[in-house]
Amino acid sequence: MPGTLSVLLVGAGGAWGRPLLEQFIKQKSSFKRVAVLARDQNHAEKFSDAKAQGVEIVLGSFLDSAPYKGFDVVMSLVGNPLLRLQPAMIQAASAAGVTHFYPGEWNSDIDQPEIANMRYFRDKQATRAQCHATAQENPNFKYTIFITGIFTEWTLMFGWDHEKKSAVVFGDSSKRIGSTSIPDIARYTVDSLLIPFKADGGAFPNRRTIRAQGGSKPYGELVADLEEARGMKYSVEYRDRAEALKLQEQARQQGDEAGEMFWSIRTLPASGYGVADGVEEGKLDNDLFDFTPETQKETFERFWSGQK
Ligand SMILES: NC(=O)c1ccc[n+]([C@@H]2O[C@H](COP(=O)([O-])OP(=O)(O)OC[C@H]3O[C@@H](n4cnc5c(N)ncnc54)[C@H](OP(=O)(O)O)[C@@H]3O)[C@@H](O)[C@H]2O)c1
**Could you count the other beta carbons within 10 Å of the beta carbon of residue 203?**
7
For ligand 1, the distance from its centroid to the CA atom of residue 39, given in whole angstroms, is 14
Helices (H) and strands (E) in the chain, counts: 12, 13
The DSSP code for 279 is S
In angstroms, the CA 248 to CA 307 distance is 33
pLDDT at 279: 83
Cα–Cα distances in angstroms (integers) from residue 239 to residues 101, 159, 255, 270, 274, in the given order? 39, 11, 25, 10, 17
Distance 250 CA to ligand 1 centre (A): 26
Q: Is position 44 within any domain?
A: yes
Per-run averaged pLDDT (10 residues), the chain, 308 residues: 91 98 98 98 97 98 98 98 97 98 98 97 98 97 98 97 98 98 98 97 97 98 97 97 98 97 98 94 95 98 83
Three-state SS for 46? Answer: helix
Which domain, by its residues, includes 209? 6-149+180-214+274-293
Instruction: Specify the residue with its C-alpha closest to ligand 1, atom 25.
Output: 11
In the prediction, which pLDDT does 267 show?
98
Q: Is ligand 1 within 6 A of the CB of residue 104?
A: yes
- Assess if residue 281 is contained within a domain: yes
Q: Integer distance in angstroms from the first to the last C-alpha of the chain?
A: 44
Tell whether 303 is covered by a domain: no
Strand partners, 76: 10
Helix (H, G, I), strand (E, B) or coil at 33: strand
Q: Determine the pLDDT at residue 131.
A: 98
Establish if 99 belongs to a structural domain: yes
CA distance 88 to 78: 13
238 φ/ψ angles, rounded to the nearest 5 degrees: -100, 130
How many domains is the chain built from?
A: 1
The pLDDT score that the predictor gives to residue 247 is 98
Tell whether 243 is covered by a domain: no
Domain of 42, CATH number, reads: 3.40.50.720
50 is a domain residue: yes
- Does the CA dihedral 263-77-16-271 come out positive or negative? positive
Cα diameter, the chain:
56
In a domain, 263, yes or no: no
Is the Cβ atom of 120 under 6 angstroms away from ligand 1? no
Tell me if 185 CB under 6 Å of ligand 1: no
CA of 183 to the centre of ligand 1 (A): 16
- Residue 31 domain-assigned? yes
Do residues 113 and 140 make contact, with C-beta atoms less than 8 angstroms apart? Answer: no
- Separation CA 70–CA 74 (nearest Å): 11
Q: Is 37 in the pocket of ligand 1 (CB under 6 A)?
A: yes
Cβ neighbours of residue 271 closer than 8 Å, sequence gap 6 or more: 114, 115, 171, 172, 175, 241
State the Cα–Cα distance between residues 143 and 132, nearest whole angstrom.
9
Angle at alpha carbon of residue 95, lines to 89 and 96, rounded to 5°:
90
Neighbours of 151 (CB within 10 A): 21
Cα 90 to Cα 86: distance, rounded to the nearest angstrom = 6
- Kindly give the number of the ligand 1 atom that is closest to the alpha carbon of 79: 17
Q: What's the pTM? A: 0.96
For 264, phi and psi rounded to 5 degrees?
-65, -50
